[in-house]
Structure 1
Amino acid sequence: METEAMKTQMFLPVYRAAAQSLAPFSGLFLRRRAQRGKEELARLGERRGQAGLARPDGRLAWLHGASVGEGLALLPLVDRLIGKGFHVLVTTGTVASARILAQRLPSGAFHQYAPLDAPRFIERFLDHWRPDLFLLAESEIWPNMICAVHARAIPIASVNARLSPRSFARWRLAPSFISALLSRIDICLAQSEDDAGRLLQLGAPRVVAAGNLKYDVEAPPADPDRLRALFTGLGPRPVWIAASTHAGEEALALSAHKRLVRQLPDLLTIVAPRHAIRGDEITALARAAGLETAQRSRGEAPGASTQVYVADTMGELGLFYRLANVIFVGKSLVGQGGQNPIEPAKLGSAILHGPHVGNFIDVYAALDQGGGAFVVNDADDLAGRLAFLFSNPRDLRQAAEASRESVAAMGGAADRVMRALEPYVAAMIVSGQ
């Protein structure tokens, strides 16, 4: 009878061969994605392992995250690795993450798109960059990438590692395969004890619950001139933000606005969708509701009579978060899982959210219990909670401060991760790398 180990030994070569056979079609695949705005046409070579930059001399740490959230969570480690004498290469796979990291990476760090998980592309990438250390963020598990790095005896760490119960159940269907991959990772630094336990059960040889790096990320920056211009244009009017919204939530936000405007006639609602490409759709929705609307991507600024401002640009959330101290965080009323509330909380905002926050359950639990966040179930709830907070500025200030304190208390993961990585860094120093 065929054993699971035999299946694993067969599956890795099959996966490798399949990825290799599809590599010649990658150009067509990538160009089609570029036509949909999902790739940068001028940088498609990076997705095939062709470097867009020269490798700097000296030690190089390669950090990889899937998209915006994972890439930003790596920033505290970027700063600390630079402080230890590394150059830092950060790779991600999305256009949005590339643009935001271009604004946020410090001197000594740079971004490239991650190569597709085909052997020839991975080998080409590694031949050029020759990393001394490889850090994978969260749930990124790419077989060819992990196997190729391991084969070159480059230390691999999974940082901010997480494994949801659903993913855990799926991987348990192929236990030897996932164990073979996890065994090539030198250390898994998990977000929580639960994540650590699931990784250990799947075969990770060394796991430490280090905490969530997202609590250590600095609040998003804001251009001071743009911020001043917006403050001047708005004046002393009540402002709230529906941030990182998904389809269906904008309609609820607009409905809440129309209820509130009877009590707060000069209210401004800022809608910052999770996907900026939906800006035209949301603007049309607001205007169809009879609301005077301005749209950021079209160069429009909110005036005294603007009721809804559609903030459909990338990399400016830090700007808008500073305009309001009460923020609804999306993907929590419509859709599942919720978006990350840590950034607005760090800037001292009371947080409103729907009941569906499974992707960030720990931070929402801390915010709710600490009095910095409130659950709303529909447009009526949303309007009611906003009305209460705007009518009771002392309660709003207390909630905003509680929000800030809750996320501050959950920090420290970056230092714990660096302590866990110290033996690998020390070994490089001793060996003269």
Structure 2
Amino acid sequence: MIFVYNLIYILALPLIIIRDFLTKRVKGINFFKSKFGFIDKSQDEHIWIHGVSLGEVRALSGIVSSLLNEEKRILFTSSTNTGLTEILKKYSTDSVVVMPFPYDLNFLHQKIISNFNVSKIILFESEFWPNLIFSKPNNVQLISLNTTISQKTLKKMRLFKPFSDQLIKRFDLFLAQTDEIKSNLLEFQASNIKVTGNIKLSSENYRLNEEKANEIASKLAKNRLKVVAGSTHEGEEDFIIEALKSLHDMQLIIAPRHPERFHALSGTFQNQRLNYSIYSHQNNHESSDIVLFDRVGDLYELYSACDIAIVGGSIIFTKGHNFIEPIHANTVSITGENLSNFKELKKIFCSEGPVMTFKDKKELAGIISDLKIESQRNERLFLQKDKLEKYSGNYSVILSALTDE
């Protein structure tokens, strides 16, 4: 089976390289030189950690920081421009080597493992790269962190069960998100499985800048309900404004997902003769019904300064955004029902849990109207935080498992 995989991969590789040539650009990294393993050697022992994209890299940041505090050296790889950029921005230290994940070729993995004296390989969630897994020497520990297996992947694994068995048995340790994932892994003869929760939900990934949060709160309305619409996409601002127009004693703060839309949105609000202000243009927004929040990188602090968060990207845009973030900021979270990138979290927190979703303007207005009552907000937030605590990854247990020799 590995022969068939390699044959297909090698045939597809020219197209993959062309795609990468057209789309992969990261300042500070010689992309193709690194992808083919041409990078300076190191005699120091390294832990190889791989997070496929930006979300995974951010979820791993607490673990990486803890390992650095224990004077470990890290080889940190990612497959996307945003993931690599985030690593470079966050870790300006010789203890972290940053490179794109190499092409899945046996000799490249062996070269990198040798060049960096790799002692452990930590793959995040469902990153099961066959040639990396099979090329790993027996003296190198292979760990799957925050393991999850989608139903689609599970069907494929069952279809090629003998191959999947061989693949899964190569892992030394699985740190699985749920008991259900553990049961799925046991189908493929996995051993040494610990259920440690979902690290993406852990509070260690969320650090509030209280000074910024207090500054933001001081500039917004004091005696009105503050509702933030965060990470909104084109068309979603109009949807929310229209839905909430009949509600009074409320200030709506809009934080678009893409900063390049600030100017166009301001023009739209002006043409509609809305009572709005732009956050960076004045120090007091007490009298504004709508505030266009045009500061980048402070969404978490904005969530903390408000009473209710409507998380966008889930109304017209269908993939959804992180509706867990407001809960960590002690703010009630609601979201549209289009969450194709968050199917598992939707099942846990929305379909079976305390995060309310809406499909139309009437439903959104009804939810906000109910949550205007402080006791309702407090009860809803309690339920959301309780569910979050139940499913969050246990950081101390995870770190102990990762550092266990």
Q: State the TM bucket, normalised to the shorter chain.
A: 0.7 to 0.9
Amino acid paired to 1:43: I
Q: Which amino acid aligns with 2:132?
A: M
2:101 alignment partner, SS class? coil
- 1:77 paired residue number: 63
Q: Map of 1:304-383 to 2, 5 A cutoff? A: 304=285, 305=288, 307-309=290-292, 313=296, 315-334=297-316, 338-356=320-338, 358-361=343-346, 363-364=348-349, 368-369=353-354, 373-383=355-365
Identify if the C-alpha distance between structure 1 residues 141 and 380 changes in structure 2 by more than 3 Å, giving closer, same or farther.
same
Which of 125, 128, 151 is equivalent to 1:138?
A: 125
- How far apart in 1 are the matches of 2:292 and 2:391? 33
Identify if the C-alpha distance between structure 1 residues 108 and 210 changes in structure 2 by more than 3 Å, giving closer, same or farther.
farther
After superposition, the C-alpha distances for 1:119-169 in whole angstroms (9 at most, x for unaligned) are 265455434333211111111122233333x14742111110101112212
Query: Residues 255 and 310 (structure 1 numbering): CA distance in 2 closer, same or farther, change over 3 Å?
Result: farther
User: How far apart, CA to CA, are the structure 2 residues paired with 1:303 and 1:377?
Assistant: 34
> Relative to structure 2, which stretch is displaced further, 275-284 or 96-105?
275-284
Deviation sequence 1:232-290 (CA, Å, 0-9, x none): 43242543222344565444323224343xx13x61232342x6666667666656655
Structure 2: runs of 5+ lacking an equivalent: none
Instruction: Check 1:312–1:228 CA distance in 2 against 1; reply closer, same or farther (3 A cut).
Output: closer
Q: Match of 2:385? A: 404
- Give aligned pairs, total: 397
**Percent same amino acid at aligned positions?**
20
TM-score by length of 2: 0.80
Q: Which residue of 2 aligns with 1:60?
A: 46
SS of the residue 1:185 aligns to: coil
Corresponding position: 1:40 with 2:17: no
What is the rounded CA distance, in whole Å, between the counterparts of 1:283 and 1:126 in structure 2?
A: 52
Following TM superposition, by how much is the alpha carbon of 1:295 offset from its aligned partner in structure 2, in angstroms?
7.1
Cα displacement (A) at 1:226: 4.4
Q: What is the CA RMSD across the aligned residues, in angstroms?
A: 3.8
1:112–1:106 distance in 2 versus 1, CA, 3 Å = closer
Q: Which of 163, 178, 184 pairs up with 2:149?
A: 163
Does 2:19 correspond to 1:29? yes
CA distance in 1, matches of 2:158, 2:267: 46
- CA distance in 2 between counterparts of 1:111 and 1:257 reads 49
Correspondence for 2:73:
87
CA contact (8 A) 2:45 2:117 kept: no
In the other structure, the counterpart of 1:14 is: 7
Gapped regions of structure 1 (runs ≥ 5) = 1-7, 427-433
